[in-house]
Every structure is written in C-alpha cells, then in structure tokens.
Amino acid sequence: MAAGKAALHALGTGDGWAGNDQRGHSAFLFHLADKSLLIDCGEPVSRRLHTAGVKPDEVDGILISHLHCDHIGGFFMLMQGLWLDQRTRELPIYMPSEGLEPVRNMLRASYIFDELLAFSPSFKVLKECEPINFDGVKVTPYLTTHLDQLKNSFSDKYPAKFEAFNFVMETDAKRVAHSADIGSIHDLSPLLTHPVDLLVCELAHVEPSELFNYLPTQKIGHIAFTHLSRPFRSNLRELKAQAAESLKGISHTFLNDGDIIEV
C-alpha cells in the first residue's frame, strides 16, 4: 500500500443469517499507516485471514463492535489459530465491557489457557468517545442504537448494558469510518462531523431510501456498503440503481467478500 493511503480488506460482508448465502459474517481488516486493525470476527475470519496471507503477528489489534454472533462467532477459532500458529506479539482486544468475562471464560472452557499462548491477549473495554491509540492511528468508538429495541424489551429480565459501537479511524493523512450495526441513520452522525475518505456502512437495519437520501448531505470520499440483508440483496440490481440515482456521483461500492478498497 502506498504511503499516506488507507485500505479496507472485506473478509466477511454477510448479514446475521446462516444458511446458503456464501458470504462470510462481519470481519473487516483495515490498513492505516503501518497498522492492521481487525474490526469484528464473524466466521470464518480465521480462514479468510489465512487465505489473504495475513501472518499471525501482522494484526495489530482487534475491535469487537458488539456481541451478536455474526460479529464475534469466529473469535475463538481465531484465538486457537493464533495459539497454534505461534503468534508472539501482544494483542490488544477491545470489546463492550459485558463481553470481557464471558469471553475469557469461554477461552478457558476451550482449553486455550494463557500459559499455552506465546503472546499476551490484552483485553480492554470500549468506552464511548474515548480514543484508542495504535501508534499513529487513533480509533474513537461511538455508541449506536442497534441494541436499543432488545434493551427495551428484555433489560428487566436480562440486566445488561446492550452496548454496540461504531468507529472512526484517523491518521495524519486519512479518516475512515465504520458503521458496524446501527439502529438508525442518526447513528452515523458522530462519524461524519468531519469529512471522511471512506465510510463502510451497513445496509440491513436501515431503509435504503432514507440512507441514500442522507449520505449526499455529508462529505464522504467513498462509501462501501456491506451487511446487506437478504431481502435487499435479492433485489441488488434495483438497489444499485437506486443508490446510483440518489448518491449523485458519490463514489460507492457494494462490497463482496474479498474486496479491497484503497483510498
């Protein structure tokens, strides 16, 4: 990748449904400056990283946006792979606070003990608007309303924070935003207070017409749509035509697994 550029490698672009769809679940490898950051670990993230030629020590950090299985379901196999492939570098792993102990417990239940690892997994909590620094890359998480409906329905019976995050990644040269899963277009506003070179935006939990009308009001270099729900994907030709008409010349892509976008 050329100096001053940023790149996205879409490892998994699918929605939350299992079955016949050939897309992997949510997993995105971002390259900014000299860092490689993995956002979400939907299955089969381990296989996709291996196929892409990413070595065990090349991932500089992992961020889990929320704890739905299509975003974290491949994490434990990834950790097993890093153990067997002998990763040696410390690995910062950020996630919502309510996931830390269950994830640690699942690793132990899977016999992936700290003593077996040649690297140190450093689990850390995502906090809204609190920047994370990766030596030249600043990542700022923002809360979304993706889990609010579940919170309203089940928080009395299942006390939890129901946290879901999206992210802005910044270097001296580039600004990249990743929506993860949102509850409405308003969840994009904190990401777009300043111009972005790339917006990776989900298209499962918002109405396309509302989203397509909103995005041209923002300063965005390129939009990469992902996480298309099955109903939207089944009418992909019409959806692309609608986007082309509404986005008014803004460069955009409907992502498939394996796509690489450089900005």
Handedness of CA 257, 47, 227, 59 (dihedral sign): negative
CB atoms within 10 A of CB 36: 20
DSSP H/E element including 46: helix 45-51
Residue 20 has pLDDT above 70, yes or no: no
Helix/strand/coil (H/E/C) assignment for every residue in 151-210: HHHHCCCCCCCCCCEEEEEECCCCEEEECCCCCCHHHHHHHHCCCEEEEEEECCCCCHHH
Which band of pLDDT confidence, cut at 50, 70 and 90, is reported for residue 4? confident
**pLDDT digits 0-9 by tens, 184-216:** 999 999 999 999 999 999 999 999 999 999 999
Q: Interior CA angle at 204 toward 203 and 206, to 5°?
A: 75
Give the chain's length: 263
**Eight-class DSSP state of 253:** E
Instruction: Report the b/e string of 2-14 with b at 16+ CB within 10 A.
Output: eeeebbbbbbbbb
Q: Where does 6-255 sit in CATH, by number?
A: 3.60.15.10
Burial string for 228-237 (b: 16+ CB within 10 Å, else e) reads bbeebbeeee
Q: Is the confidence at residue 113, as pLDDT, over 90?
A: yes
Looking at the chain, the number of H-run helices and the number of E-run strands are: 8, 14
In DSSP terms, which residues pair with 176 in a beta bridge?
A: 169, 198
Domains of the chain by residue range: 6-255
pTM for the predicted model, two decimal places: 0.97
Report pLDDT digits (tens) over 45-69. Answer: 999 999 999 999 999 999 999 999 9
Find out whether 94 and 134 touch, Cβ atoms under 8 Å.
Answer: no
Please give the mean pLDDT across all residues of the chain.
97
Which among 129, 126, 128, 221 has a CA at the least distance from the CA of 173? 221
Q: Which residues pair with 202 in a beta bridge?
A: 226
User: Hey, which residues does 63 pair with through a beta bridge?
Assistant: 39, 94
Average pLDDT, integer, range 158-170: 97
